[in-house]
Amino acid sequence: MPLSIGQQASLRRTISETDIVLFAGISGDTNPVHLDDLAAQDSPFGKRIAHGILSAGLISAVIGTRLPGPGTIYLNQTLAFRRPVYIGDTLTATVEVQALRPDKPIATLRTVVTNQAAEVVIEGEAIVRLPS
């Protein structure tokens, strides 16, 4: 099915302790604000937060599996981190088609991640090469 302006897809996931620990191990980002309760108490957030890029990874999951879907290749992504994500937060990543290039298989996508209170935690824009 061809893409159209305004078309959307979403993915929902609850962020767990395991997600944060595994992401720290894979990425090497062992910042105590993510892993250490005592250190996080002294942070501006007052408790542990998830890695921003872990939350942003949900955008990639939507793009690569739902819209535009398998075979899509990232060309660019902007991210503005608006709110912290805590263990137990349920995030919804949504991608919306904003523009389609008529001369090339390239789309511009609005990307947003919200928490269970419908607060925006991440917003941005992705430019992707569409699957052939």
**Domain count along the chain:** 1
SS3 labels along the chain: CCCCCCCEEEEEEECCHHHHHHHHHHHCCCCHHHHCHHHHHCCCCCCCCCCHHHHHHHHHHHHHHCCCCCCCEEEEEEEEECCCCCCCCEEEEEEEEEEECCCCCEEEEEEEEECCCCCEEEEEEEEEECCC
Residue 61 in any domain: the answer is: yes
Residue 3 in any domain: the answer is: no
Give residue-wise pLDDT tens across range 100-114.
Answer: 999 999 999 999 999
Residue 121 in any domain: the answer is: yes
Residue 2 in any domain: the answer is: no
**CATH number where 101 lies:** 3.10.129.10
pTM over 0.85: yes
Give residue-wise pLDDT tens across range 11-52.
Answer: 999 999 999 999 999 999 999 999 999 999 999 999 999 999
Residue 111 in any domain: the answer is: yes
Residue 121 belongs to domain spanning? 8-129
